[in-house]
A and B are shown apart, each in its own frame.
Chain A
Amino acid sequence: MTALLEVKNLQVRVEDREILHGLSLTVNPGEVHAIMGPNGSGKSTLSHVIAGKPGYEVTGGEILFKGEDLLEMSPDERAAKGVFLAFQYPVEIPGVATMNFLRSALNAQRKARGESEFSTPDFLKKVREVAKSLSIPQDMLKRGVNVGFSGGEKKRNEILQMALFEPSLCILDEMDSGLDIDALRIAADGVNALRSPDRAMVVITHYQRLLNYIVPDFVHVMSRGKVVKSGGKELALELEESGYAQFEDAA
C-alpha cells in the first residue's frame, strides 16, 4: 500500500535560518497522527510546507502525497488533490459572503479534478446539512468569511470546509488555541465525525487536552526541527507529566 503522506528527511529554511533539519513522517489512510512539541520546534512550519505556503525554501528531502511529488505542485493543486489545512488563525475576507466563498472554492477544486460543478440546489443542500451538524447558524453563512466571527465560530467554519471539501489529508494546526471547553468539544466532535478509513489527519497541538477529544493513533514529539520520539497515544500523557524539556536536551 502506498502511504498517503510520506515526508522524507525534509530540510526547510526561512530566509537564512534552517527550521526543519531532516524531518521524516509517514501517514497512512485512516490514521490520526498528533504532532506535539514546544513553541519554535517547527510544527507549524511543517504544516505550512505541506500546504505550500510561500516563504519557505525546501533545501533537502521530499514529500510524497499518494506517491506523487507534492513539492512540485502549486498550493491550489494540492488542495484539489486532497490536502486541507485548518488554519490556526483563519483570516477574515470582508465583502465575500461565506456561502459564495465555499461555493467558489469547492467548484474550483472539482474543476481542477475534472469533475462537474455542483448545481446550486445540491450545493445549498449539502452546506445546510453540514452546517447543521456543526451548529452553524444560516446567517453566519451569509456574512463575510470569518468577519466578526468568534474564535469558536472561526474554527467551526474551518471544519465546515473540511467536511464540504472531503479532503484525504486534514492538517489541523493548533485547533484548540483560543477555544473554551464547550467550543473545543463541538469542534472535536466535528472532526471525529470526519474520521474515515480513507482519510488521514495530522493534529498539531501544544497540549494533551485536545487529544482527549480527538484520540490519535500515533503521537510524535518534535523538537528543534526534527521528530525526536514517536509512540502511541499514551506518549501524549507521558509528555503532559514530564514536559518537553527532556527532548530539548536530546535533540
Chain B
Amino acid sequence: MPAVQETVDRVRRIDVDQYRYGFETVIESEKAPKGLSEDTVRFISAKKNEPAWMLEWRLEAYRRWLTMTEPTWARVDYPKIDYQDLYYYSAPKPKKQLSSIDEIDPEILKTYEKLGIPLREVAVLEGVVTKPVSDDGEEGAAAPRSKIAVDAVFDSVSVATTFQKELKQAGVIFMPISEAIREHPELVQKYLGSVVPTSDNYFATLNSAVFSDGSFVYVPPGVRCPMELSTYFRINERNTGQFERTLIIADKGSYVSYLEGCTAPQRDENQLHAAVVELVTHDDAEIKYSTVQNWYPGNSEGVGGIYNFVTKRGDCRGKNSKISWTQVETGSAITWKYPSCILRGDNSRGEFYSIAISNGFQQVDSGTKMIHLGKNTTSRIISKGIAAGKSQNTYRGLVTAHRKATGARNYTACDSLLIGDKCGAHTVPYVEAKNSSATFEHEATTSKISEDVLFYCIQRGLSQEEAVGLVVNGFVKDVLQQLPMEFAVEAQKLISISLEGSVG
C-alpha cells in the first residue's frame, strides 16, 4: 500500500536533525594517554587519589580482562572495536579548586542548562511552579516540580551533585563514587563488585578496570529518601569511552527512587559507553531505578552513535525486598543491556518495565534476567519493543527458578510493534524452572502498525506523525505509567521525537 510506503519513508528520514542534544561543548580537558594498559589503570586510580586496595581491585580486573574475549552472542553487528584507539579518561580541566557550584566552568553549566538539567538548587526549590510548554502549544497543567537531587557526570568525572546537605540530614549518602571510595571505603569495599563481580563479563570487567566516576547512594535503615535522586551522564570528548559505575544500597526497610538520563554530541565515529550499575536491597527495602536513555543514535546512514554495552544488576539480598527497573531506550547505535534481578531473599520481588525504540540503523538487544533463588519470590517483565526504519530490535530474557526457590512466580509479556517492512523484531526468551512449584507465564505478540488504524486517526484530523505518536504511546502506556511523573512526560515526548519524520 502506498501509505505504508509513505510512513516508512517519513520515519526513515529520522536523522541527525531530530537529535536535539547533539551539540558539543568546547572546553579544555585533561586526558589519559590514548590506549589501555596497566599504566592507564594506574593513571586513573592516581587521578582519583584512590587507596591501594582500589588500585589492586582495578588491576586484577584489568588482568582478567586481558584473558577474556568480546561476547558475540547478541543480535548486533558492528566493526571490531580497537580498544587501544580510545581514551579512557577525560576530565574538564578545572580552572581552580571548586568550593561551590558557582565556580563550575560556565561552559559546563551552560551544557546542562541546554539539556534541561538543573544544577543550581534554587531552580528546583520546592513549590516553584513551572508550566510545561509542549511543542504543539498545548497547555500543560501547572505542577509544582518535585525536588530532585542531581549528580552530573561529564565525560569521566562528576561535575556537581546537588542537595547534598539536605540528603545528609536524612542520613542518605549521595555522592560521586570517586568521593565515596575515599570517604566511605568500608561501604564501597563491602558492596562494590558484590552484585556484578569483576569477572562477570567482558564489558563489566573492562569497566571495573577503568571506571572513572559515577554515583554512589546509601540509604540507611528505615529511611525513605526524601527526594528523587538522579544522575545525568554526558559524553562530550571525542574518542573517549565513558565507563561509569553506579552503586546503590538500600539498607533494611529503606526506599529510594533513582533516575538516570544520558545524551552525547553527534559525531561521525562511534563512542563506547560501558557502564556497570549495582543495586543492593536488604530486608524490606526497595529501589526503583528508572532510565531514559537518549544517547546519540547515529545519523540516517548509520554513521556514528554510541555503543551502549551496559551491565545492570540488582540483588534483592534481604527478605521482602524489591527492585524495579524501568527503562525507556531511544538512543544509541547499539544497545546491549539486560537490567536484571537476583531474587535471593524470600518473598522478594523483581520488576522490569521496558520501552525500546529503534529507528534508522539502530540495533537493540535488550531484556532482563530474573534469577529466582529465594522462596515465594515473584517477578514481572513487561517489554515493549518498537522497531522502525532499518533497525533490529531484540528482546532477550532469562527467567530461572533455583531448586530451592519454591513458589517462584513470573509473568512475562513481550510485545513488539513494527513500523515499515525493513526493520525486525525478535524475541528470545529463556525459561528454566528447576522445581515443580514454580509458575512461569510468558506472553508475546508482534504486530505491525496498521494502515487502517493510521487512516482512521488521520481521517479524524490528526497528521500522519501525530497518528503514529498516538498509536505508539498507546502501545507503551503500561510501561510509561511506571515512570515517575516528570520523567513520563519527558519520555512521551521523546518517543514522539524518536519516530518523527520531519524536524521536531
Contact = CB atoms under 8 A, between A and B. Distances in A.
Nearest to B3: A54
Nearest to A112: B461
A193 B460 CA distance: 20
A84 B453 CA distance: 16
Given A93-B471, A95-B474, A76 B453 contact: no
B456 A87 contact: yes
Interface in B136-150: 136-138
Contacts of A76: 458-459, 461-464
A55 B2 contact: yes
Given A54-B1, A101-B470, A107-B138, A93 B453 contact: yes
B142 to A, nearest CB: 13
Contacts of B138: 107, 117
Given A91-B452, A95-B473, A105 B1 contact: no
Contact of A95 (B137, B451, B463, B475): B475
Contacts of B1: 54-55
Interface string B442-474: 000000001111011111111110100011011
Nearest to B480: A95
6 contacts: A76-B459, A79-B459, A92-B453, A93-B470, A95-B477, A96-B474
Given A95-B477, A104-B466, 8 more contacts: A54-B3, A54-B455, A85-B459, A93-B457, A95-B475, A101-B460, A101-B470, A104-B470
A185 B462 CA distance: 30
B459 A96 contact: no
A40 interface: no
Contacts of B456: 87, 90-91, 93
B476 interface: yes
Contacts of A109: 460-461
Interface string A148-171: 000000000000010001000000
Contacts of B471: 93, 96
B459 A94 contact: no
Contact of B459 (A51, A101, A104, A144): A51
A36 interface: no
Contacts of B453: 91-93
Contacts of A75: 455, 458-459
B143 to A, nearest CB: 14
Interface of B: 1-3, 6, 136-138, 450-453, 455-464, 466, 470-471, 473-478
Interface of A: 51-55, 74-76, 78-80, 84-85, 87, 90-96, 101, 104-109, 111-112, 117, 144, 161, 165
B457 A105 contact: yes
A54 B450 CA distance: 13
B132 to A, nearest CB: 15
A90 to B, nearest CB: 7
A94 B461 contact: no
B446 to A, nearest CB: 14
Contacts of A54: 1-3, 6, 451, 455
Contacts of A105: 457, 460-462
A33 to B, nearest CB: 20
A90 B463 CA distance: 18
Nearest to A109: B461
B461 to A, nearest CB: 4
A161 B460 contact: yes
A51 B474 CA distance: 25
Contacts of A101: 457, 460, 470
Give me the 4 closest cross-chain CB pairs, A-B, nearest first: A95-B474, A54-B3, A109-B461, A96-B474
A70 to B, nearest CB: 13
Nearest to B472: A95
A79 B477 contact: no
Contact of B463 (A107, A108, A161): A108
Contacts of B459: 51-53, 75-76, 78-79, 84-85, 87
Contacts of A91: 450, 452-453, 456
Contacts of B475: 94-95
Contact of A79 (B3, B137, B460, B464): B460
B456 to A, nearest CB: 5
A33 B144 CA distance: 54
A76 B467 CA distance: 10
A36 to B, nearest CB: 23
Contacts of A80: 461
A111 B470 CA distance: 17
Nearest to A101: B470
A5 to B, nearest CB: 16
A108 B136 CA distance: 10
A170 B483 CA distance: 41
Nearest to A92: B453
A54 B471 CA distance: 18
Given A55-B2, A93-B453, A165 B460 contact: yes
A182 B477 CA distance: 35
Contacts of A78: 459
Given A80-B461, A108-B461, A55 B470 contact: no
A84 B3 CA distance: 19
A52 B454 CA distance: 12
A75 to B, nearest CB: 5
Contacts of A108: 460-463, 466
A93 B455 contact: no
Contacts of A51: 459
A243 B137 CA distance: 55
B461 A79 contact: yes
A167 to B, nearest CB: 10
A53 B461 contact: no
Contacts of B450: 91
Contacts of A84: 459
Nearest to B415: A94
Contacts of A90: 456
A96 B476 CA distance: 10
Nearest to A54: B3
Contact of B470 (A79, A96, A161): A96
Contacts of B466: 104, 108
Nearest to A161: B460
Q: Which among B453, B457, B470 has the greatest number of chain A C-beta atoms within 10 A?
A: B457
A154 B1 CA distance: 26
